[in-house]
Structure 1
Amino acid sequence: MTVHAMRRPRIKPEHRAYRTVEGHVRIGSVVHGIGAEVQDADGWIWTLVQAMDGTRDVADVVAVVSRRHPELRLPDPDIAQAMTDLTDAGFVEDAGAEPPAELSERERERYSRGMTLLRWMDLSPRSSAWEPQLLLRRASVLLIGVGGTGSAAARDLVASGVGHLHCVEPDVVELSNLNRQTLYREQDLGRPKLDAALTALRALNPDTQVTGERREVRGPADLEDLLRVGAGAGTDSTGGPYGTDGPYGTGATGDGDGTGDGDGTGDRGATADTRASGYDVLLLAADRPAEIRRWANRVCLATGTPWAEAGYRGPLVGVGVFTPGRGACWQCLRDAEVERRDLRLGPGQDEDAASPRMPWNPANAVTAGLSGGLLAHAALMLLCGVPPVEPGCRFGLNLMMPGDPVMQRSQRRPDCPSCAVRPDPARAASGVAGPAPGARPGSGDQGPS
């Protein structure tokens, strides 16, 4: 979207400019990563941003700047170029753009606050401020695990207006789940989590299609099958071909909340034409079996599917975001972290002594909610490009030290056993049947770092 194609360009309300004591122009708010400062020795940039108030077309804005600064003899193309630069930086929207017909008046009211947040974080020129919301509405997401992290992520995505969410979960609601899995109620005890989740999510937003199946993921072939089935053929626990038990029965027991052991965008990555998947994004919120992240990484590489995984380890909460062909894959990030770590283990000590794993998940509604919120946020990044964070990274929070940066990024590794030779999506079936040569069994369960 160029500024010349806009009917009435204006600085986004959230990016309103102000002048500094030096006379320069700051624009884009005071949020780090958005705001910018423009030198303005002659004062005409300030006039420009003031004139871009949504009441004028490009020619009229240029005329205002020229008229107020005749002594500068500014060429019209230079003024127009400054408008282009501001537009390319993501500070400008078209106040004259018509509301998208695809969104009803009711939907525009429902998502009006979310649209303004996306507009604030969006640094891409758009034909309409509603475009990211439309991308979300058209999206289809596969969610593995509807426990602590997964139920919070599902709630946030459905409330935010994702078009279709397909949930996969084998477990039943237990009393110990209820301190953190806020999608469920005491009357749901003993009920399949999937059934309770579908009921709650459909009530939350009837405009979102929510489907699911009670199914356990036991290997990469299961993930591949789920992705291949795709959005158009999602099964439903209340009426799908598997009924409420799924083809694998009830599966695992316990919390199965997809959190305690997880380890560790800009564009949406592969398009529907190149993906061997019916879903736009896979979200992994399950921690069983231990190799499930490695499986997801290989399957998503093979199918060209962007994906994210989230979890918590005590007070550490994190999310990893990955797009095949862009940046490091999960395995690259994992191996880089293993190389960086120096636990200074004494003789006879192993990693489990430094990072013990327990049969329960130390968690509450806060850590689970933060983890699920970050996973939903990652989905927005992958689906809408807002905010424009490059994939191939893991980020999060350390609740013990809120100012402690939790960010992990690595270069794509040329010797990576998973992505160094990227499988052909058209041959996904043969490319994900087993572990990659050189893969280390059991190394896929590292917690957020």
Structure 2
Amino acid sequence: MHFHCFLITLLLSVAFRVHANTDVILQTKHENGKNNHIEAAATSTTQVNCNIPNETKSGVCLEVGDCSAYTQARNAVNISAEKVNFLKKVQCRCKRIDANVLEPMVCCPANGQDYLYPSLKFSKFEYRRFQNVTAQFKRKKLKRRIQTVDPAQSFNLRNECGKQVTNRIYGGEIAELDEFPWLALLVYNSNDFGCSGALIDDRHILTAAHCVRGEGVREKKGLKLIRLGEFNVKTEPDCIEEPDYLNCADAAVDIGYDQIFVHPDYDEHSVAKFNDVAVVRLSRAVSFTHFIMPICLPNKGDESPFKAGEMFSVSGWGRTDLFNKYFRNIHSPIKLKLRIPYVGRDNCTAILARFGIELGPKQVCAGGEFAKDTCAGDSGAPLMYFDRRYSRWVAYGVVSYGFTRCGMAGHPAVYTDISSYIDWIHSVVSGK
């Protein structure tokens, strides 16, 4: 039986420059950015043996941050479908942190060495299908395998936004193919990507203002297009071998844009990045699929989830921890995810004040756990909260800025509070 952890951890994206004198400064996230699944174990610290594909010696289940072999394999510049297949297979048990939190673990070489061969071909039957799908993609004749939904005809945005087609509870710290289908990649005229966003209806992307205006954007020669339905930027098609079938995503969709709306009170030169929010209007409406769906926005009057003990999720293609020591601007090619806790306003205000930074009334903080944080390349991505009452995901924030060294204990990242901008967002979306 395959048990999937719901709460995720990840050394997602460590990458901002750190001065040689170890001073910490703040920057926006976009600027210089055999199967081993075992049912969740209790809080026991006893190491559990597990099997590593392509190796005869048993490994041990460790937390992601304690297995350098795993993080090195995951952080490779180019990750093929077979490498993703390997990374999924080395996920093992989950450690229970408390009654509601499960920490995913991976099968790590017991000798502390690297994996011998961190790649795993699909099974014989599925490999033939993978080759067929790949050939179809190359001929650009792949028939969409699911029925698309015309949002103008039969999609109730209020009721269906924030829903993932599958009801599976996901595990691991690599996102699934159809997980968070509202995530968008912003691609620039330099043919680089450095920010994320979220689809909020069939025509609009919510992102951070600094992702579409400012020095970093000018260096990349301006925004070129929006990519939806992406998983691995280095492969097409994107396929993952499930326990009993090969799961392949539709081709990613590249869409141009008509207009960019930056909040009128945003100042690109401000250190505190107040009003760091923008909306991109696509050049055409998109059809919704398993892999392209909008996320919900907060409703006026909803109870705020920004309170002690609440957990949020972030996902994106941020730079990874491996490259921090080299100070190189490299992003993860695959969609990653993590869970981070809300950080109280008083606590965050005190932390930022030490660096001469003011926390605005329309900004919130989350993260601040060692080796768990958003980082460069995750700018503009939604700070997501799962609304259990309606079983849907809601974008309550937009990744704005954080410390030059991500994943520092006691140093949370700052997010634009979307609930404070609902009227402005709706006015942009409605064209009023």
Structure showing greater relative contact order (alpha-carbon pairs closer than 8 Å, 6 or more residues apart): 2
Larger strand share, 1 or 2: 2
Superposition TM-score, scaled by structure 2 size: 0.29
* Structure with higher helix content: 1
Q: Give the TM-score of the pair, scaled to structure 1.
A: 0.29
